[in-house]
Amino acid sequence: MDLENTLKAVVMGVVEGLSEFLPISSTGHLIATAEIIGFYMAPGEEKFRHLFEIVIQLGAILAVLALFRQRVWRVVSTLHRDASSREFVAKLTVAFIPAGIIGYTTHSYVEKYLMNTGVVAAVLALGGIAIILIERRKAKPAVYQDAMSLPWGITIAIGSCQCLSLLLPGTSRAAATILGGILLGLDRRAATEFSFFLAIPTMFAATGYSLFKHRDSLHEAHLGILAVGFVVSFFVAWVVIAWLIRFVSSHTFTAFGWYRIAAGLILAILIVVGVVSFGGP
């Protein structure tokens, strides 16, 4: 395990942990970061890079389980006797279905034609504008304050919102589900928490499918790099999730909107001047 790629794995793990649950798009940031630092960009290394990104995503989702372990365990341990626990799991399952169908049917097309820095730059900026416009609307009083007892229709609608992040790299699953939840009447904390809960089946399914698809890229020589990225992503995501839960209680996402616009413009400039390529990974 050479020092250069180890340091690059640390950078990628930090980027994944920071961006997975913030409304700024982890996919977009990973694509751009890998291009900028040259992380496994040589011909023949693309499959391992995909595998690496899958593994560090798993680190981030395990951080959700670690932080919400008490509530997750309460639900799991009472499934056999508590109707509310069974209903919550059923709602998460149904909310996941739209993304499962869209992800499975469009994954190859998106990966081949849309997973590139040009699309990411445009979607980052447009998504930032959307966040700012949503936050500037005349806010209505929140109807739902408990992420674990939402109506069926609301959970399905939020689940459908995350499909946008599967179709357009750079959208952000967190932005789509959190802001979708807010527009549907959830308060900010409940929308954020439900986004985290919904991430568990969504990201485990996506990770499992991608690991199976890229299983031939896993070699013993790569285990050290994968371990570094996984551990870094886990701990950074842990800190970010804990911070975001506190942040959303008293702040809007407007700052993230402006950040996305700036990031999109900077990435577009880097493409124009040739620092990063327009194409995909």
Integer-rounded Cα radius of gyration of the chain: 18
Is residue 201 assigned to a domain?
Answer: yes
Q: What is the pLDDT of residue 204?
A: 87
The span from the CA of 45 to the CA of 47, in Å, is 6
Going residue by residue through the chain (281 aa), what tens digit of pLDDT does each one get? 688 989 999 999 999 999 999 999 998 899 889 988 988 766 667 778 888 888 899 999 999 999 999 999 999 999 999 999 999 999 999 999 999 999 889 988 998 889 889 999 999 999 999 999 999 988 777 899 999 999 999 999 999 999 999 899 999 999 999 999 999 999 999 999 999 999 999 888 888 887 787 777 777 777 899 999 999 999 999 999 999 999 998 899 999 999 999 999 999 999 999 888 876 55
Q: How distant is the alpha carbon of residue 52 from its chain centre?
A: 15
Indicate the pTM of the whole model: 0.90
**What are the structure tokens assigned to 238, written together?**
């842990």
The span from the CA of 266 to the CA of 44, in Å, is 29
Domain count across the chain: 1
Q: What is the pLDDT of residue 3?
A: 87
Is residue 39 assigned to a domain?
Answer: yes
Is residue 281 assigned to a domain?
Answer: no
Q: Are 61 and 207 in contact (CB under 8 A)?
A: yes
The span from the CA of 114 to the CA of 25, in Å, is 14
The span from the CA of 92 to the CA of 138, in Å, is 30
The span from the CA of 158 to the CA of 152, in Å, is 10
Is residue 278 assigned to a domain?
Answer: no
Q: What is the pLDDT of residue 280?
A: 57
Q: What is the pLDDT of residue 221?
A: 72
Q: What is the pLDDT of residue 164?
A: 92
Is residue 279 assigned to a domain?
Answer: no
Q: What's the DSSP call for residue 144? A: B
Is residue 185 assigned to a domain?
Answer: yes
Is residue 115 assigned to a domain?
Answer: yes
186 pairs with which residues across the strands? 144
CA atoms within 13 A on the CB side of 155: 24
Q: Which range of residues forms the domain containing residue 200?
A: 3-273
Is residue 172 assigned to a domain?
Answer: yes
Task: Tell me how far CA of residue 202 lies from CA of 68, 159, 160, 228, 235, in angstroms.
Answer: 16, 9, 12, 24, 20
Q: Whats the size of the chain, residue-wise?
A: 281
Q: Which helix (H) or strand (E) is 270 found in, with range?
A: helix 254-273
Q: What is the pLDDT of residue 174?
A: 93
